[in-house]
């Protein structure tokens, strides 16, 4: 691995969630349903859910890694399932993930969710390292000047 490792803290995750919540308020984005991408989007999705009373939740499980190792090889996305489909159909959804690197998983997820015909789709991530086509639809919680290999708090071995 050539990239420098960066250990993200739980406090940074909370700060990123605060920033995303602020953007939702400032931009007056209507969110009926949070759709965290399992596994990386679950911690951020949980924090957002606790701070957005009345918002429904639907998880989308996509697998790209060949193992559960922090720096596992990433292959083609595979849909493993979507929970609570009725919370997505015709609703204003916020897709939640830990980060956008090349956008492969996110593009796959957005195509799958569009098949369920939601009213609108926005995306929230802590870090973004890719060019965004529809920038106003993306909420970014944190900034990192130089791209590093992020070890998220839920990935740390204890």
44-82 pLDDT, tens digit each = 999 999 999 999 999 999 987 666 665 566 778 889 999
Q: Which residue has the tokens 């193992």?
A: 67
> What is the per-residue pLDDT for 4?
81
> What is the per-residue pLDDT for 2?
60
The mean pLDDT value of the chain amounts to: 91
- Spatial neighbors of 11 by CB under 8 A, at least 6 apart, are none
The pLDDT of residue 155 is above 70: yes
- Spatial neighbors of 93 by CB under 8 A, at least 6 apart, are 31, 32, 33, 34, 35, 58, 113, 118, 119, 120, 121, 122
Enumerate domains of the chain plus CATH numbers: 5-151 (3.40.50.2020)
> What is the per-residue pLDDT for 70?
56
pLDDT tens digit sequence for 73-111: 677 888 999 999 999 999 999 999 999 988 899 999 999
Strand partners, 151: 7
């Amino acid at each position: 691995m050539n990239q420098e490792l960066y250990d993200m803290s739980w406090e940074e995750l909370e700060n990123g969630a605060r920033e995303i919540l602020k953007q939702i308020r400032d931009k007056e984005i209507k969110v009926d349903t949070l759709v965290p991408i399992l596994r990386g989007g679950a911690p951020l999705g949980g924090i957002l859910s606790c701070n957005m009373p009345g918002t429904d939740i639907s998880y989308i499980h996509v697998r790209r890694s060949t193992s559960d190792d922090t720096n596992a090889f990433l292959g083609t996305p595979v849909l493993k399932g979507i929970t609570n489909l009725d919370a997505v159909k015709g609703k204003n959804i916020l897709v939640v993930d830990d980060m956008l690197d090349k956008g492969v998983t996110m593009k796959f997820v957005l195509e799958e969710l569009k098949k369920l015909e939601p009213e609108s789709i926005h995306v929230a991530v802590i870090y973004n390292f890719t060019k965004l086509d529809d920038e106003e639809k993306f909420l970014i919680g944190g900034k990192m000047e130089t791209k590093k290999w992020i070890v998220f708090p839920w990935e740390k071995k204890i």
